[in-house]
Amino acid sequence: MPVKEWTVLFPTSLDSESNQPTIVNDDLGVPSQINSARNMCWQLENTSSYMSASYTAHTASYLTLSSSYSTLSSSYVTTTSSLAFMSASYTAHTASYLAVTGNIDNRLITLQNQSLYKYIQLAQPSGVTASVDALWQFDGSGTQFNDLSAGGHDLGKGGGTTIKSYDSGMVGLGFIGDSYYTASNDSTLHFLNDLTVEMQIQWYNSHTEAGHVIFACGNSGELATANFLYNLSIASQDNQLSSLWEHGAGTDSAYTFKALLPPSRIKHLVYRRLSNVVSIFLDGILIDSSGALTGPDGGANSVFVLGVSPGAASYLTATIFSMKITGDAFSDAQILEAYNLTRGV
């Protein structure tokens, strides 16, 4: 039996079904094995092309993901480092804040402790049996200041403009030249005998007008009922303090002290009348005293005024921080003690 032979030509490319092995002598009939082999070659080539393209795509995707990972990893490291820095910075700023606020608190406490004066105390110096008749603490520029004693002598603003004034850790009532206050229930402040007025004052020598009245209890008119029962003023030309009261039908008992009130400095000032002798103390020290004067009388219609003289325009330019009136005369030692109390001594 003759042997059949086939000549098979294989193409150089197997990228499509048409480029398959060709049977040259196909007239002899193509065995099924060759057809199967031909189909298998095409399928394998097709699968190989698909897998190669898939591999290429997967490689590109891998490279993209790898790059993205590297970027994210670097960003994570940077973010972590930044977070650590910010945490450290926050901790440092917190410590700094606490140190600063603590320092401020400590400085405030120090300033308070080192203030030149504290406010006048309601408590009387040792040995004083008389009660306080009036006590005012001036902590601003309000229209009313309550009497902290049991006297009920609240001060009400009578006119003009006042300001809140600060100095040496204290707040006071600033009189700027056209303001004054009057006391309610002031008939019980009509003292005809011994008297002590204690105050903390800072005077400003800013006006040329003479007779800046600090306080007065009196009224206008030369009538016995309007007599001044006590008064303290400053002569702006020479800073001298002077006192005045009246008897009869407006007859003066006056004395100009050999005492200067230094401008722009807080002074603890005490005005004392003892057996019709009037004295001035500055910072606990006796500065000057008058001789015996004729005592006051009358004054039924007198009013207590702070910052001006009743019926006059001799306004005060000063800051008053606190003021106390007692219908009794303190001794020299008690006045020194009162001054030391304002200094926390």
Measured in whole angstroms, the distance separating CA 145 from the mean position of its chain's CA atoms is: 23
Residue 71 lies in a domain: yes
In angstroms, the Cα distances linking 75 to 61, 78, 84, 90, 289 are 21, 5, 14, 22, 87
Long-range contacts of 160-163 (CB under 8 A, 24+ apart): 160/315
Give 38-73 pLDDT, tens digit per residue: 566 556 566 666 667 777 777 777 778 777 777 777
Note the pLDDT of residue 232.
95
Do 24 and 143 belong to one domain?
A: no
* Alpha carbon distance 105, 113 (integer Å): 12
Tokens of 106: 């400590």
Specify whether 79 is located in the same domain as 139. Answer: no
pLDDT of 47 reads 66
14 and 133 inside one domain? no
Residues 306 and 252 grouped into a single domain: yes
Cβ pair 98, 106 in contact under 8 A: no
Structure tokens at 269: 């000032």
The amino acid that residue 241 corresponds to is L
Considering the chain, what is the average pLDDT of its residues? Answer: 80
Name the domain boundary from 47, 81, 111. Answer: 111
Residue 100's domain comprises 8-111
Split at pLDDT 50, 70, 90, the class of 111 is very low
User: What share of the chain has pLDDT > 70, as a percent?
Assistant: 74
Q: Return the ∠ at Cα 301 (arms to 298 and 307), rounded to 5°.
A: 105
- 296 inside domain: yes
Query: Both 266 and 318 in a single domain?
Result: yes
Distance from C-alpha of 186 to C-alpha of 171, rounded to nearest angstrom: 26
Distance CA 84, CA 216 (A): 71
Mean pLDDT of 281-288: 95
Please tell me the least confidently modeled range out of 18-22, 247-251, 333-337: 18-22
Domain match, 141 and 73 both: no
- Residue in the structure block whose two tokens are 């990972």: 69
d(C-alpha 101, C-alpha 314), whole Å: 46
Instruction: Indicate the pLDDT class of residue 4, thresholds 50, 70 and 90.
Output: low
Tell me: do 272 and 168 sit in the same domain: yes
Considering the domain boundaries, does residue 185 fall inside one? yes
Q: What pLDDT is stored for residue 90 in this prediction?
A: 76
Indicate if 305 and 331 belong to the same structural domain. Answer: yes
Dihedral angle of Cα 261, 264, 268, 269, to the nearest 10 degrees? 30
| One domain for residues 222 and 144 | yes
In a domain, 116, yes or no: no
Residue 225 lies in a domain: yes
Pair of tokens at residue 93: 């700023």
CB 133 within 8 A of CB 195: no
The CA distance from 315 to 136, in Å, is: 20
Tell whether the torsion through CA atoms of 286, 292, 294 and 300 is positive or negative: positive
126 & 32 share domain: no
Question: How far is the C-alpha of 184 from the C-alpha of 182, rounded, in Å?
Answer: 7
Please identify, among 93, 111, 129, the residue that sits at the C-terminal boundary of a domain.
111
Instruction: In whole angstroms, give the CA distance from residue 324 to residue 149.
Output: 9
The total of other beta-carbon atoms located within 10 Å of residue 148's CB is 18
Q: Compute the distance between CA of residue 125 and CA of residue 333 in angstroms, rounded to an integer.
A: 9
Beta strand segments in the chain, E: 8-9, 22-23, 134-137, 144-145, 155-159, 162-167, 170-176, 180-183, 195-203, 212-218, 230-235, 240-247, 251-260, 266-274, 277-282, 285-289, 303-306, 317-326
Among residues 111, 131, 163, the one where a domain terminates is 111
Considering the entire predicted model, what is its pTM?
Answer: 0.66
Q: Let me know whether 167 and 87 are in one domain.
A: no
Split at pLDDT 50, 70, 90, the class of 165 is confident
Domains contained in the chain, number: 2
What are φ and ψ of residue 211, in 5° steps? Answer: 75, 50
Average pLDDT over residues 229-250: 88
Residue 102 lies in a domain: yes
Task: Identify any residues that bridge with 323 across adjacent strands, giving them in sequence order.
Answer: 136, 199
Q: Domain holding 218: CATH number? A: 2.60.120.200
105 and 153 belong to one structural domain: no
Residue 1 lies in a domain: no
Considering the domain boundaries, does residue 309 fall inside one? yes
